Amino acid sequence: VVDIRTFYKDTGMFTYDPGYTSTASCDSKITFIDGENSELRYRGYDIADLAGKHSFLDVSYLLMRGQLPTEEASKNFDLEIRHRSFLNEGIIRLFDALPDGAHPMATMGAATMALAAFYKDHLHLEDEEQFKMMRRRILAKMPTIAAMAYRNSIGTPLIYPDVDKYFTENFLYMLRAYPGGKMKYLGNGKSQEIRQVEVDALDAIFTLHADHEQNASTTTVRNVGSTEAHPYVAIASGISALWGSAHGGANEKVMDQLRMIGDVKNVPSYIAKAKDKNDPFRLMGFGHRVYKNRDPRAEALKGLQDKLREELHLDSKLLDIAAAVEEAALSDDYFKERGLYPNIDFYSGVILTALRIPIAMFTPIFVIGRTPGWLAQWSELKHDKTAKIARPRQLYTGK
Instruction: Confirm or reject binding of residue 342 to ligand ACO (CB under 6 A).
Output: no
Give the nearer residue to ligand ACO in terms of CB position, either 237 or 343.
343
Alpha-carbon distance 131 to 41, whole Å? 25
Total residues belonging to the chain:
399
Distances (CA, A) of 193 to 10, 128, 311, 356: 62, 40, 15, 11
Q: Do residues 3 and 260 lie in contact, with contact meaning Cβ atoms separated by under 8 Å? A: no
Instruction: Confirm or reject binding of residue 298 to ligand ACO (CB under 6 A).
Output: no
Instruction: Confirm or reject binding of residue 161 to ligand ACO (CB under 6 A).
Output: no
Instruction: Confirm or reject binding of residue 287 to ligand ACO (CB under 6 A).
Output: yes
Instruction: Confirm or reject binding of residue 343 to ligand ACO (CB under 6 A).
Output: yes
Residue 33 is given by DSSP the state: E
Alpha-carbon distance 233 to 241, whole Å? 12
Q: How far is the CB of 284 from ligand ACO (least distance, A)?
A: 5
Q: Which of 84, 158, 151, 100 is nearest to 364 (CA)?
A: 151
**Which of the stretches 69-77, 100-108, 177-185, 242-250 binds ligand ACO when contact is defined by CB under 6 A?**
242-250
Q: Do residues 363 and 284 lie in contact, with contact meaning Cβ atoms separated by under 8 Å? A: no
- Packed helices 362-383 and 128-153: angle between N→C axes, nearest 10 degrees: 160
Residues 249-268 that bind ligand ACO (CB under 6 A): 250
Cα dihedral 138, 381, 205, 299, rounded to 10, equals 170
Instruction: State which of residues 65, 132, 165, 289 lies at the interface with ligand ACO (CB under 6 A).
Output: 289
Instruction: Confirm or reject binding of residue 338 to ligand ACO (CB under 6 A).
Output: yes
Give the nearer residue to ligand ACO in terms of CB position, either 81 or 300.
300
Instruction: Confirm or reject binding of residue 150 to ligand ACO (CB under 6 A).
Output: no
Straight-line distance from the first to the last Cα atom of the chain, in angstroms, rounded to the nearest whole number? 18
Q: How far is the CB of 287 from ligand ACO (least distance, A)?
A: 2
Q: How far is the CB of 319 from ligand ACO (least distance, A)?
A: 18
Instruction: State which of residues 140, 345, 353, 368 lies at the interface with ligand ACO (CB under 6 A).
Output: 345
Instruction: State which of residues 246, 263, 317, 392 lies at the interface with ligand ACO (CB under 6 A).
Output: 246
Active site residues: 288, 345
Instruction: Confirm or reject binding of residue 363 to ligand ACO (CB under 6 A).
Output: no
Instruction: Confirm or reject binding of residue 282 to ligand ACO (CB under 6 A).
Output: yes
Q: Do residues 87 and 148 lie in contact, with contact meaning Cβ atoms separated by under 8 Å? A: yes
Amino acid at 227: T
Task: Label each residue of 211-234 as H, E or C.
Answer: CCCCCHHHHHHHHHHCCCCCHHHH
Q: Is the dihedral of CA 173, 175, 298, 46 positive or negative?
A: negative
Q: How far is the CB of 251 from ligand ACO (least distance, A)?
A: 8
Q: How far is the CB of 244 from ligand ACO (least distance, A)?
A: 9
Give the nearer residue to ligand ACO in terms of CB position, either 82 or 288.
288
Give the nearer residue to ligand ACO in terms of CB position, either 343 or 353.
343
Alpha-carbon distance 60 to 46, whole Å? 15
Q: What is the largest CA-CA distance in the chain?
A: 78
Instruction: Confirm or reject binding of residue 344 to ligand ACO (CB under 6 A).
Output: yes
Give the nearer residue to ligand ACO in terms of CB position, either 63 or 250.
250
Distances (CA, A) of 93 to 116, 119, 151, 157, 237: 15, 17, 14, 13, 22
Give the nearer residue to ligand ACO in terms of CB position, either 140 or 328.
328
**Which of the stretches 71-79, 88-96, 97-105, 336-344 binds ligand ACO when contact is defined by CB under 6 A?**
336-344
By Cβ distance, which residue is nearest to ligand ACO? 287
**Which of the stretches 139-147, 172-180, 221-229, 342-350 binds ligand ACO when contact is defined by CB under 6 A?**
342-350
Instruction: Confirm or reject binding of residue 365 to ligand ACO (CB under 6 A).
Output: no
Positions that interact with ligand ACO (CB under 6 A):
19, 246-248, 250, 274, 282-289, 338, 340, 343-345
